[in-house]
Structure 1
């Protein structure tokens, strides 16, 4: 009887019920439980991005949902197994009819599991199969709704809308699913960007939404959409409802935050709410968002100083939320851009881009805005820096010394503040660790919490040090120095520990004391004045600033190489602002002082301007073609093309660019020396152009590189010359003496006799070497260690040197390694100093 009921070939009551119950309470049940667990875990792990419109449902994404593949695959396996083993299809007329009412449920489970795995195309096929195959039951309608959702997540909004309209036209579509249909339609409109059309559909969906927690989420999303459409009053009403009634703290918190930008009235009430939130312990990790919201209110009230302070506090409090930090920097960048204070704006835009994700709305626009400021900021900084350097150079020596002294004091005070903050953090860490271990021992080595905290703190300061004596020293040999050597070591360490910005050398470095250096500084200022004039006009349409820098150039540097073109640029600016008198004034200056210049000809014959413009466009095109050839690496052709065309170019700026690309082509063909030669020629031939200014920077980098190489060589030589302490390697005894007072052959014989008398068993060898014109050296070797050579030296002093005082005091023991260095570099005085610190006190 049991075997009979197991058959799927017999369409009998007992068979149908057996397979129905087996699927429902066995395979399907287990698969559905796995699906529900996966869905729940995905909802928990998905973090809402409150800077964007929230998702109605938390379906996760392709990458994050991989964590739930085991549960979802279990759902798929169980569903497929149930279909395979328990499907009961029988022919009714010309159609196959499924008699196991749980089979469509299994197909639906498979479709939903595929959807959560973001296998959207197979999910779509599954839902279509259910819709077209099963003519009875609710599952076909559920599958149709899931089909629409799949279209939405595939961003196939045309098919989503078509299917929704078909469902709406279907008179058999159950009323119990109408609310779901409305909600799915709202999701489709929202995700397709049709916000104004989505709003009334969301309003309708909220009316019947259950449970209340879900309803509050929909209300928050609707408030976001109102806000995006500038319906601030409607948004504020909903935010207030969610802030009061939501049981989800994040929804509640962000509703209060969003009131900062949607409120009506003075805003004082919102400020009070936000200030209360600052005091709430639950909001410690959200302080950055609260200060940001406060800044928005203050900005709306016109209290710019308070807004800036709040934005800066928001950025400083944002430790684990780089996106919020980026938003605060962006707000500050926008504020300073509107002032306009482009230096600060550039810095804040730059900081915002390092913190904001590239997916942030308008990220490319922010980047473009920053790039538009790059050249402007570069030239503002050049003027600021070079003026500062020249000002310091021109100070009387006493005033300069006082200035540097004050700078060092400022640097020290700043460092002291940083140290105090770090010390406070260390003390807090120890206090926290002590509090954590208060139930146990208070002695650090019996308290694991305190010990771990101390270890972390130690590594933070000193790094991961091996367990050994004198662990703070890099050169362990220094512990053997005598008292004087130790004091010198301490003084040396102290001087090395002084931060660079607390030394006079730091502030004197780079100052243009020489005349040629000052000329370069003035050239940089002249070029930057001109470029600022052009950039303010052409990039920012700021004619007053443009006029200021052009006038500043010619008033500060009369008869400068750009005087004519600068007056011409002023002529153009005055023409734009309709200042006829000033326009004619600069026109006359060009014609009178530079009658043969192209700018005078343009002013005398305005018709030439169109011709020059066309010629200029053609010249630019030729340069671009040559630059393209340069990028392809055809440097010989670049050189020949530049030589052939450059004489036809009248514009000084473009002529300089031709020279610059010619120099780089030469450099690529013939090496760095050739590059440097032609770069210097480009600078000399094109003084006052931007290209010449760029060349100065390149040449300065060459000089810096040469300095670095020289310092590296000096450092390498210093290391090569430096003596090292090694007690256990072979040692020699050395004596250096005056060869005018002493005959080397006689001294050598005496030392051989001494060795035979006192060290006959040691098999010592002695050898004399010419050391210098007036000095010879005798070396006695080998001794197996420092202690053995020291013993020999003591005996030698007592029994040999007392009878040969003319030999002098240049006698010492030396390791084999140090002897090779001494012989190569002849650094006798340095070795004697090393010897006294490391050997003399023990011998």
Structure 2
């Protein structure tokens, strides 16, 4: 008993003996710190597994996101420099909190600070674990306090270099990049040259920390230099692979494709690298392909990667990059197919979808399939989360520009159909809609039969069980029940008789409520419903024709001015020219067709429209422009002078000096033929004309603005005023 008490007494943290030092060191290392380090490693694994990299952006060198402006200050107790508190009621909830708890326990229960010297050789490890655990909890100030305690009290410890690296990383998070850079340079230069070489593992960590500091301070050249040094040995496989990928991204950003490809090739061939870096290195190699002969090899590589089952999580990216290369090689249909494959991939990410839909939209736009392009751009906007992104804002503008085009195309298509049907005889209208209804019925029957077949053969989507092998369909009660519900959904309650599909054959005697439901379901098969919607009055038909013609004219302007598609602009304007009966549209139609054929170097056709303008509208400004195409204008006035002149004329207008406004604008405009404010001057002049001249002159001035500046805000205002004048 005495011996046992003696041993216990010799193990006191206040007694500096060999037994006491070894007992507390071994207990700290193999009990408390062992569990603490396990918790810390588990936390790191959780971060790596939960963090999602955005491969479209430059990766951070550390795969972790910290909340902005969240810095937790330390609460101190009597343990100077420890930076931890004694809140025993607080239970650890995360792996890093458990690691911190173990570090604190090791320090408090097994620390042997005797006469100002720590006798337990494991306490410095406990403080390092304490700082690292706090770092990942975003408690950076307490973390620095723990690292500083190690550096101040254990200057000769084996882990002093690692502690300095962690302190530097924490300073980077606290926006003290300069302090971090200075400390890492001291570590790498002084320690390496004056004492002993640092281990490769420590060098990698130090250069990575320096690269982090330089990236944060936007000094990419210095970041690149230290990433090159950090990736010399690659002892830390995960961090080394990440460093290589970021280095390749920096080279790509600098448009140094060869250097980037060498880096990505090295990563792709790095056998011990985590697989996600290797697969994305291959994708980046494909993205950097510029040579046609090389692209063939890269395409074959991508096809092999697609076939590999291990790459299923990356199929959306692999299909997308394959499509991009095929598009560059003018294999447009193959590219489209692979864009569709990318969208259909099981793990397709939303951001990847935005790029895929954008490329499909651009292809449709190039092929003048504007409605399809609009639908693809709309899909981009549906899947995006970053609405402030410059790329997304550009797509949004494209989509808005297409919206008016789609609207006018729909008006033309709809009104054409209605006018065409309205001009048919009664018998032709009946035949037309009977054929139309029959097609709808056939399509509905086929859809219903398909669903029944899918159900009968255990379509996994339906969740229904198949009939047993050799069992007839009608012996499967679940299949039969599903089929009956589908039948009633489409046809309602019908008697077993000839021509049962016609709506007037609906069974007599069912409840009124049921009858109403059946009629609602089958209204699309009712011939009278369609015939009743055909306009009968000539005024209604004329209104449709006028609306269609105006839409054709607007389409001509949109294709000509906004999308620079001269062929489609010519088609729409020539068609409206043949159909138009509105005198107000004659001049602008001929003017735009004259400009179109002049641009297309077709002088014969241009002459036809030019003659109409010079003969019927010789007094207009359009005729003057045609007759004086080579007027030499004086040097353009500076923009600020143009703005000053506009303000001056605007104040004259406000002072009711309308005649003076018109005179000065006529004198000033020839000197600014290409100024952005030109439409504003013309609108101001038109408004001044409207104040004291005839309605006819006012309308002519407004019409000129509508025709000449069709895509501007001023043209829209002029158009609204013309509509009011009518």
| TM-aligned CA deviation for residue 314 of structure 1 | 2.8
1:651 aligns with 2:702: yes
Query: 2 CA distance for matches of 1:159 and 1:526?
Result: 71
Query: 1 CA distance for matches of 2:323 and 2:122?
Result: 58
The answer to whether the Cα contact below 8 Å between 1:38 and 1:72 also exists between their aligned partners in 2 is yes
The answer to whether the Cα contact below 8 Å between 1:327 and 1:356 also exists between their aligned partners in 2 is no
1:74 aligns with 2:98: yes
1:525 aligns with 2:548: yes
Query: 1 CA distance for matches of 2:435 and 2:171?
Result: 69
1:209 aligns with 2:272: no
The answer to whether the Cα contact below 8 Å between 2:702 and 2:719 also exists between their aligned partners in 1 is no
Query: 2 CA distance for matches of 1:124 and 1:405?
Result: 83
| TM-aligned CA deviation for residue 8 of structure 1 | 5.7
1:348 aligns with 2:387: no
1:372 aligns with 2:377: no
1:136 aligns with 2:187: no
Specify the alignment match of 2:580 in structure 1: 557
Query: 1 CA distance for matches of 2:456 and 2:265?
Result: 43
The answer to whether the Cα contact below 8 Å between 2:13 and 2:111 also exists between their aligned partners in 1 is yes
The answer to whether the Cα contact below 8 Å between 1:186 and 1:202 also exists between their aligned partners in 2 is yes
| TM-aligned CA deviation for residue 376 of structure 1 | 3.1
Moved more, 331-340 or 389-398: 389-398
1:28 maps to which of 11, 33, 44: 33
- Provide the secondary structure at the position in 1 that maps to 2:584: coil
Query: 1 CA distance for matches of 2:306 and 2:584?
Result: 60
| TM-aligned CA deviation for residue 346 of structure 1 | 1.4
Specify the alignment match of 1:294 in structure 2: 322
Query: 2 CA distance for matches of 1:107 and 1:621?
Result: 76
Query: 2 CA distance for matches of 1:190 and 1:210?
Result: 22
Q: How many residue pairs end up in the alignment?
A: 613
Residue 245 to residue 137, structure 1, CA distance change in 2 (3 Å): closer
Specify the alignment match of 1:303 in structure 2: 331
| TM-aligned CA deviation for residue 269 of structure 1 | 4.5
- Provide the secondary structure at the position in 2 that maps to 1:485: coil
Query: 2 CA distance for matches of 1:587 and 1:369?
Result: 33
Which 5+ residue runs of structure 2 have no aligned equivalent?
A: 1-5, 69-91, 494-505, 629-662, 687-696, 707-712
Residue 90 to residue 254, structure 1, CA distance change in 2 (3 Å): same
Please, what TM-score do these two structures have when normalized by structure 1?
Answer: 0.58
The answer to whether the Cα contact below 8 Å between 2:11 and 2:19 also exists between their aligned partners in 1 is no
- Provide the secondary structure at the position in 2 that maps to 1:135: coil
CA displacement 1:486-541 (0-9 Å, x = unmatched): 599998766544484x6557766865554333333334334334433444455445
Query: 1 CA distance for matches of 2:164 and 2:294?
Result: 50
- Provide the secondary structure at the position in 2 that maps to 1:209: coil
1:146 aligns with 2:138: no
Query: 2 CA distance for matches of 1:622 and 1:14?
Result: 102
Specify the alignment match of 1:332 in structure 2: 360
1:392 aligns with 2:431: no
CA displacement 1:34-87 (0-9 Å, x = unmatched): 212211222223344444445555446669xxxx95221122233234444555
Which 5+ residue runs of structure 1 have no aligned equivalent?
A: 444-449, 464-469, 476-481, 624-646, 662-681, 688-843
Specify the alignment match of 2:642 in structure 1: none
Residue 437 to residue 237, structure 1, CA distance change in 2 (3 Å): farther
Query: 2 CA distance for matches of 1:152 and 1:13?
Result: 41
The answer to whether the Cα contact below 8 Å between 1:602 and 1:608 also exists between their aligned partners in 2 is no
The answer to whether the Cα contact below 8 Å between 1:76 and 1:109 also exists between their aligned partners in 2 is yes
2:724 maps to which of 670, 685, 688: 685
Moved more, 162-171 or 176-185: 162-171
1:113 aligns with 2:119: no
| TM-aligned CA deviation for residue 280 of structure 1 | 4.9
Specify the alignment match of 1:626 in structure 2: none
- Provide the secondary structure at the position in 2 that maps to 1:350: helix
1:41 aligns with 2:46: yes
CA displacement 1:384-425 (0-9 Å, x = unmatched): 333333333334555545554554455455555654654455
Query: 1 CA distance for matches of 2:484 and 2:238?
Result: 49
Residue 430 to residue 82, structure 1, CA distance change in 2 (3 Å): same
| TM-aligned CA deviation for residue 208 of structure 1 | 0.4
| TM-aligned CA deviation for residue 348 of structure 1 | 0.7
Residue 598 to residue 154, structure 1, CA distance change in 2 (3 Å): farther
Residue 158 to residue 371, structure 1, CA distance change in 2 (3 Å): farther
- Provide the secondary structure at the position in 1 that maps to 2:126: helix
1:707-726 equivalences under 5 Å are: none
Residue 505 to residue 200, structure 1, CA distance change in 2 (3 Å): farther
Specify the alignment match of 2:669 in structure 1: 610
CA displacement 1:802-824 (0-9 Å, x = unmatched): xxxxxxxxxxxxxxxxxxxxxxx
Residue 517 to residue 459, structure 1, CA distance change in 2 (3 Å): same
- Provide the secondary structure at the position in 1 that maps to 2:157: coil
| TM-aligned CA deviation for residue 580 of structure 1 | 8.9
Query: 1 CA distance for matches of 2:119 and 2:345?
Result: 64
Query: 2 CA distance for matches of 1:458 and 1:56?
Result: 59
| TM-aligned CA deviation for residue 333 of structure 1 | 1.0
| TM-aligned CA deviation for residue 330 of structure 1 | 1.8
| TM-aligned CA deviation for residue 304 of structure 1 | 0.9
Query: 2 CA distance for matches of 1:507 and 1:204?
Result: 77
Query: 2 CA distance for matches of 1:246 and 1:622?
Result: 74
CA displacement 1:301-330 (0-9 Å, x = unmatched): 211122112222332345764444333222
- Provide the secondary structure at the position in 2 that maps to 1:524: helix
- Provide the secondary structure at the position in 1 that maps to 2:509: helix
- Provide the secondary structure at the position in 2 that maps to 1:561: helix
The answer to whether the Cα contact below 8 Å between 1:386 and 1:521 also exists between their aligned partners in 2 is yes
| TM-aligned CA deviation for residue 114 of structure 1 | 2.3
